[in-house]
Amino acid sequence: MGAVDLPALIHGEATCELSWRRWLAETRCHELSVQDWLPARARLVIVAPHPDDEILACGGLIATHVTQGGRVLIVAVTDGEASHNDSPSFNREDLAYIRRHERWLGLRHLGLSQPMVLALALEDGNVQQQGSVLLQRLMSLLQPDDVVVSTWENDGHPDHDTTGQMTRRASAAIGCACLAAPVWMWHWATPGDARVPWPRLRGLPLSAAAGLHKQAALAAHRSQLNPRSADLGAVLGPAIVQRAAWRTEYYFI
């Protein structure tokens, strides 16, 4: 996650995790087939606004693709240096270093012995103002045979939204297959919420091994899971940690 000075959509209590699980089980959205959608020869490109977003969005998919011998590139849009702005215990430079290291450890848990990470180092919390830079970098990087995943462009966090929008635009221009993963949406939306394009939602079942790899990868992000100070809780609260343990990942096509 990125800056904790978040918009109104993300403040307050998260929608109950159990209510999501019950509703999704009843809805039974169409499934994605990794074999059909992501062949082993394809390069999987993850465009992540902040360290840990690649895990929250699609850690199971990464682990699955690595298992089938696939290549993975992480495009690190920011270093997540703004996640502890309200904490006196961290400055931005030190936190950026910590979060880059946590990302590397997390990717190792997903099976990437030598993670390939392209760091763009855009300013955390200010990606919206740097959208054109991000678009140009993606246009020069993506290839037609890539399969691209990013955050959903209406996720509710401005960095996630801009990253998702620019990824969709670049993928469309290059001709890449592209999926958008909701991360913060599960916090502010409710089952059947009219603001969410549910007919476009697809579920990707995860193997037990992929699920365990994803949880181990998220555990590497200790700066986000531990309290920021004596008076401030963790950036990643219990609800989002519970969602990361789901045995299905969800994407908008």
| Residue 63 CB neighbours (<10 A) | 26
Tell me: pLDDT of 10 over 90. Answer: no
Tell me: pLDDT of 120 over 70. Answer: yes
Tell me: pLDDT of 5 over 50. Answer: no
**% pLDDT > 90, the chain:** 72
Q: Can you tell me the mean pLDDT for 162-166?
A: 98
Q: pLDDT (tens digit, 9 = 90+) per residue, 170-200?
A: 999 999 999 999 999 999 999 999 999 999 9
What pLDDT shows up at residue 137?
97
**% pLDDT > 70, the chain:** 90
- Domain range holding 194? 8-252
What pLDDT shows up at residue 187?
93
- Residue 2 forms part of a structural domain: no
Tell me: pLDDT of 82 over 70. Answer: no
Domains of the chain: total:
1
- Residue 3 forms part of a structural domain: no
What pLDDT shows up at residue 3?
46
Can you give the CATH number for the domain in which 168 is found?
3.40.50.10320
- Residue 53 forms part of a structural domain: yes
Least confident of 11-25, 67-81, 101-115, 148-162: 11-25
Q: Can you tell me the mean pLDDT for 83-91?
A: 60
The residues, ordered by sequence, that sit 6+ positions from 235 with a Cβ below 8 Å of its Cβ are 1, 4, 83, 84, 223, 224, 225, 228
Question: pTM, whole model, 2 decimals?
Answer: 0.92
Q: For residue 6, name the pLDDT band (cuts at 50, 70, 90).
A: very low
What pLDDT shows up at residue 8?
59
Structure token digits, residue 34: 């990794």
- Residue 1 forms part of a structural domain: no
Q: Can you tell me the mean pLDDT for 81-95?
A: 66
| Length in residues, the chain | 253
Distance CA 72, CA 54 (A): 11
Tell me: pLDDT of 140 over 90. Answer: yes
187 phi/psi in degrees, rounded to 5:
-75, -50
- Residue 157 forms part of a structural domain: yes
- Residue 123 forms part of a structural domain: yes
Structure token digits, residue 224: 């986000």
